[in-house]
Amino acid sequence: MEGKSCFFIGHREASEEIYPVLYAAVERHILDYGVTEFIVGHYGGFDHLAASAVKEAKYFYPEVKLTLLLPYHPAERPIPTPDGFDGTFYPPGMESVPRKVAIVRANHYVVDHVDYLIAYAWHPASNAWELVEYARKKLRTLCLSITLIQPDN
């Protein structure tokens, strides 16, 4: 990951109602923080909204790149680069990770290597919430900034 980077994490059941706040967060990260690369998964509603927000922003900020996080080895589960994405990323060292924890481990890897995290995690019984808590615990050792989007933003 080159330049300043930002990862998205959020609940699968994210509503389209958060899109304006999410887009504003993307634009703020580009303009105020100098983010040029956004990394997103593809397993839920929030991931879809985050990717849409970055794709929209890319019209105005062509230097911005959108990368799809792959938790499973591309040879095992090939995924072509989706429209609007600039590439895919499979974290190194994931080959021996059991499938049932691959998404969590891939998310942890990215949190450990990005500058910013935009999160939509408001209920504690979820992997998204656990990842935000993981990031909060790592704040002392990482140069990481977390933007938390709430359902009532």
**What's the confidence (pLDDT) of residue 1?**
47
Please report, rounded to a whole number, the percentage of residues in the chain having pLDDT higher than 90: 55
The pTM (predicted TM-score) of the whole model is 0.90
- Taking the C-alpha atoms of residue 136 and residue 140, their distance in angstroms, rounded to an integer, is 8
Residue 112 has pLDDT above 60, yes or no: yes
Burial zone of 59 (CB within 10 Å; 0-12 exposed, 13-18 middle, 19+ buried): exposed
Name the residue ranges covered by the structural domains of the chain. Answer: 4-148
Q: Please name the CATH architecture into which domain 4-148 falls.
A: 3-Layer(aba) Sandwich (3.40)
pLDDT tens digits for 3-20? Answer: 799 999 988 788 889 899
Torsion of CA 90, 95, 99, 101, to 10 degrees: -70
Residue 152 has pLDDT above 70, yes or no: no
pLDDT tens digits for 25-58? Answer: 999 999 999 999 999 998 888 999 999 999 999 9
Mean pLDDT across the chain, nearest whole number?
Answer: 88
